[in-house]
Amino acid sequence: MKSISFFIFLFILASCSSSKVFVDYDESIDFTKYSTFNFYQPDSGLSEEDDIVLDAIEEDLTSKGLKSTVIAKSSINFYVEYYKQLSSTSVGVGLGVYGGAGGGAIGTEAPQGSKPVIALTVEVADALTNELVWQGVVERRMKTGFTEEQMEEFLRETVIMALENYPPKTEVAQDAQKEEEPNKEEDSSEDED
């Protein structure tokens, strides 16, 4: 009984999560070929918050071994949107009688106000073809009254969440890595001779 209660608690806790991350990418692509990146129009009148996001994306990608260059294999684009999410509380009552007659239900939803939400979308496109190859979206509730330092930290955490699974470990990349490993062994055995 305790384990069932624990799982119910975890389900409720997960459903109340204030962050959602969505990732979509082309599984047929070998992402190891995208070792360099640049940004679409990085100096086109960005806000202070957009500058923080741009810097955080660059820091995250370079920490993963990718290089920022003028002529790159991939181009990065991002969007930051702010909106209010309506929240509400639902109430439901059900009645029933065993063995024949009875039943009924009452339900209501009471609006409780709105909460600020940020939606960050990060897109990676092939720089040569301009084809979108990876996209990460984070929707996250925000607190009101952030200081500048708190807002910067919040934005940096949001970028990390969006790029957590970039570059993805696709089967194509794993197959390419397996093909390279025998070649490395052959090269090292030739060096020993």
Lowest mean pLDDT among 23-37, 43-57, 103-117, 162-176: 103-117
pLDDT value of residue 17: 52
Quick check: 193 pLDDT over 60? no
Cβ pair 122, 76 in contact under 8 A: yes
Residue 151 lies in a domain: yes
Residue 68 lies in a domain: yes
pLDDT of residue 183: 56
Residue 98 placed within a domain = no
- pTM metric for this prediction: 0.68
pLDDT above 50 for 62: yes
Q: What is the mean pLDDT of the chain?
A: 78
Q: Please indicate, yes or no, if residue 128 is contained in any of the structural domains.
A: yes
Is 31 part of any domain?
yes
In a domain, 25, yes or no: yes
Whether 87 has a pLDDT exceeding 70, the answer reads no
Q: How far apart are CA 107 and CA 92, in angstroms?
A: 4
Which of 136, 159, 155, 130 is CA-nearest to residue 38?
130
Number of domains present in the structure of the chain = 1
In a domain, 130, yes or no: yes
- Indicate which CATH number applies to the domain containing 172: 3.30.160.670
Please check whether residue 2 lies inside any domain of the structure: no
CA distances to 12, 39, 80, 83, 143 from 110, rounded to whole Å, are 20, 44, 30, 21, 22
Q: Which domain holds residue 75?
A: 18-85+115-181
